[in-house]
Amino acid sequence: MNGLRNTLEPDLGNASAGKASPPDNTFQEITMKKILIILFVIISLFPLYSNGVKDEGNVLTVYAYDSFAGDWGPGASLIPRFEEETGIKVNLVSAGDAREMISRVKMEGDRTEADVIMGVSDDSAYEAYELLEPYESPMIGNIPENLIFDPQHRLIPFDYGAFAFVFDSESGIRRPKSLSDLASEEYENKVILIDPRTSSVGLGLLLWSYSIFGDGDEFVSWWEAMKDNALTVADGWSSAYGLFTEGEAPIVLSYTTSPVYHVMNENTTRYEALVFPEGHEATIEGIGIVKGTDMREEAEKFVDFILSEGQVEIAVANSMYPASSAAELPDAFRYAPKPDKLFPSGQVSPEKTEELQALWLDIMTR
């Protein structure tokens, strides 16, 4: 500003002598022309700047679970492919686990940038329904009916797994044949369990045992036996599975798909998923369109992409089954047996879940 002011002000250098220099009209005209040219350029560029801001707003924002959005997750390759095929720019946001994602969208309210959320499991779905719009994707026809946990299709399954015990075939002990069999004394200190209060996998077993044994003495008796058979109760899946692969115990709570990782990355079939005839608890992950989005058409295209082209890559990265029956999986998935019977975890109410957690804690701390 001082430079501009000095340029426009008349030369007062001789004012102290009592005589001002006459203004240089030619100099002033040239200066004014420069200012007008600068103003013209700024005004001319303003619409371009405005359009640029608007175009930046035309980006599809996807809130996803951390492992999808991470550097080594399937999002790193799927998002660029989607952008190239559709011309739709995607802003992929790592939003934590299912509950963290839901809480974030609720907290943001009408100000949320999310157009799509993906990774909400069926046991958390009831918390997300109010945030989402139904979408009857043409890809739903490829998803088996027993995986559809929301008839309104606010959340559409894109992958699923089944909780199971994984067994070290080189341990030399007998393979348990059922949940009841696993409670036998011969498995004392041979099982690694996971806390249902701190882990979705641990919660999966709690709900699984409830689905098999129901309310009453059988449920309590099974957990009393498992308290003796548990070498430890880990806080989360990673620590539990790490102890298992280090040889601390020959049986660990995990997924039927866990052996796929070992086959594909370690070329070993040592670790086996045990499938029990009475059935297994399922965990199903869904994708949905956020209510009120102004990117509805783009959001639908993204959902359809995840339910078609994204299926195999997500299944391999997550060591889960693809929701679409049309997906062709690598041979390694032959070592991920599918149970004949699945219990969707979303069937147990939140109130009942809290009751079961309290009962579990009472049993394990007696």
Task: Determine the pLDDT at residue 350.
Answer: 82
On the question of pLDDT at 21 being above 70, the answer is: no
pTM, rounded to two decimals: 0.74
Task: Determine the pLDDT at residue 50.
Answer: 32
**β-pairing verdict for 191-194 and 251-255:** parallel
Of the given ranges (27-31, 113-117, 169-173), which has the lowest mean pLDDT? 27-31
On the question of pLDDT at 24 being above 80, the answer is: no
Task: Determine the pLDDT at residue 358.
Answer: 97
On the question of pLDDT at 87 being above 80, the answer is: yes
pLDDT digits (tens, 9 = 90+) for 278-304: 999 999 999 999 999 999 999 999 999
Q: Are 229 and 182 in contact (CB under 8 A)?
A: yes
Mean pLDDT value across the chain: 86
What whole-number distance in Å separates Cα of residue 169 and Cα of residue 180? Answer: 20
